[in-house]
């Protein structure tokens, strides 16, 4: 497949292209019949070419937008700091309850520590992001199943709510939904999503170019040119760097552009308490 220069388009450039797919000639191309949630429409083979093109572009952009919603490294660090702080706050609150005058409160606090905390009470703050999400969710589950009475006895409800908020914020930050495992680092997923857009846009561009070369002047050619125009405009907005000279129209895999620095390092463990 020929390369047209889409590797120079950054993530936000592809993301913004969804607006182009809803305007001009593309607005008249309806994908409603085929745009199923699982992206496995049973009649896809029957879809007209423009519909298939719009589907492919739309789905590749949607995959990219999903990754763009994941927090950056600095944002993750802030989310992790709040999670750690919430855990330390619970630890200190339980420790205070263990020193209270009421024996029933002291006993409840001891049970809470055994079930809800780890090690010396803050060892969970040394876990990686995924493990912290799992630990926080296990705390929330225990609070509802077996520890509700003891937590109420010592008055720790507000601390558990803070932990639950921090846990779900961290889960969203690393790209996890309910019960899901993290799908690699954000940087790797971002590169994969951009690469998917580059491949999709190259394929669409290639097909339109081929059809234009074999379509006589007339209504059909005018439609092809109108559908092609936003793709050409996208390439004009993001030309190759001056040092690269002209675009490479040869075969092979393209390098993809990102607006954020790559970060392939493993996620750090939380800072010691």
Tokens of 188: 């790797």
Mean pLDDT of 50-54: 98
Q: How far is CA 263 from the centre of its chain?
A: 15
Tokens of 37: 């949630």
Nearest to 233 by CA among 6, 46, 80, 3: 6
- Band the pLDDT of 257: cuts 50, 70, 90: low
- Cα–Cα distance, 231 to 253 (Å, whole number): 19
Per-residue model confidence (pLDDT) at position 24: 96
Reported as half-sphere exposure (CB side, CA atoms, 13 A), residue 258 has a value of 20
Note if the pTM is more than 0.75: no
Tokens of 41: 């429409």
Instruction: Give the chain's end-to-end CA distance (angstroms, integer).
Output: 54
- pLDDT digits over 160-211, tens only? 999 999 999 999 888 876 666 666 667 888 899 999 999 999 999 999 999 9
Domain boundaries, the chain: 6-70+183-244, 74-173
- pLDDT digits over 133-158, tens only? 999 999 999 999 999 999 999 999 99
């Amino acid at each position: 497949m020929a390369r047209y220069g889409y590797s120079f388009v950054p993530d936000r450039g592809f993301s913004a292209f969804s607006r182009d797919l809803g305007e001009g000639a593309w607005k008249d191309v309806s994908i409603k019949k085929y745009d199923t949630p699982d992206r496995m429409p049973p009649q896809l083979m029957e879809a007209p070419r423009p519909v298939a093109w719009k589907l492919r572009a739309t789905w590749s952009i949607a995959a990219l937008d999903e990754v763009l919603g994941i927090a950056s490294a600095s944002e993750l660090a802030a989310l992790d700091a709040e999670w750690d702080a919430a855990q330390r706050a619970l630890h200190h609150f339980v420790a205070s309850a263990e020193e209270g005058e009421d024996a029933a409160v002291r006993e409840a606090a001891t049970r809470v520590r055994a079930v809800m905390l780890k090690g010396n009470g803050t060892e969970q703050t040394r876990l990686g992001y995924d493990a912290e999400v799992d630990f926080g969710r296990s705390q929330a589950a225990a609070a509802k199943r077996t520890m509700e009475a003891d937590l109420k006895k010592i008055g720790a409800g507000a601390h558990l709510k803070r932990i639950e908020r921090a846990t779900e914020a961290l889960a969203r930050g690393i790209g996890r939904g309910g019960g899901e495992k993290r799908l690699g680092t954000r940087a790797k997923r971002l590169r994969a999503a951009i690469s998917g857009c580059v491949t999709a846009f190259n394929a669409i561009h290639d097909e339109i170019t081929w059809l234009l070369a074999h379509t006589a002047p007339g209504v059909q050619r005018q439609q092809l040119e109108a559908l092609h125009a936003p793709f050409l405009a996208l390439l004009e907005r993001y030309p190759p760097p001056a040092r690269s000279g002209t675009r490479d129209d040869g075969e092979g895999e393209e390098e993809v552009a990102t607006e954020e620095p790559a970060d392939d390092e493993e996620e750090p463990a939380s800072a010691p308490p």
